[in-house]
Amino acid sequence: SQQGEEDPQALSIQEGENATMNCSYKTSINNLQWYRQNSGRGLVHLILIRSNEREKHSGRLRVTLDTSKKSSSLLITASRAADTASYFCATVVPNTGTASKLTFGTGTRLQVTL
Phi then psi for residue 87, to 5 deg, are -120, 130
Residue whose C-alpha is closest to residue 2's, from 102, 98, 110: 102
33 close to 102: Cβ distance less than 8 angstroms: yes
* Nearest CB to other proteins, comparing residues 7 and 15: 7
Which part of the chain contacts other proteins (CB under 8 A), choosing from 10-18, 63-71, 75-83, 102-110? 102-110
Judged by CB under 8 A, how many residues of this single chain contact other proteins? 31
Report the nearest approach of other proteins to the CB of residue 97 (Å).
6
Q: Kindly tell me which residue out of 41, 54, 57, 80 binds other proteins, with binding defined by CB under 8 A.
A: 41
Asked whether the CA dihedral 65, 66, 70, 76 is positive or negative, the reply is negative
Q: Kindly tell me which residue out of 43, 63, 74, 110 binds other proteins, with binding defined by CB under 8 A.
A: 43
* Nearest CB to other proteins, comparing residues 19 and 29: 29
Burial class (CB in 10 A: 0-12, 13-18, 19+), 101: exposed
Q: Kindly tell me which residue out of 13, 15, 48, 67 binds other proteins, with binding defined by CB under 8 A.
A: 48
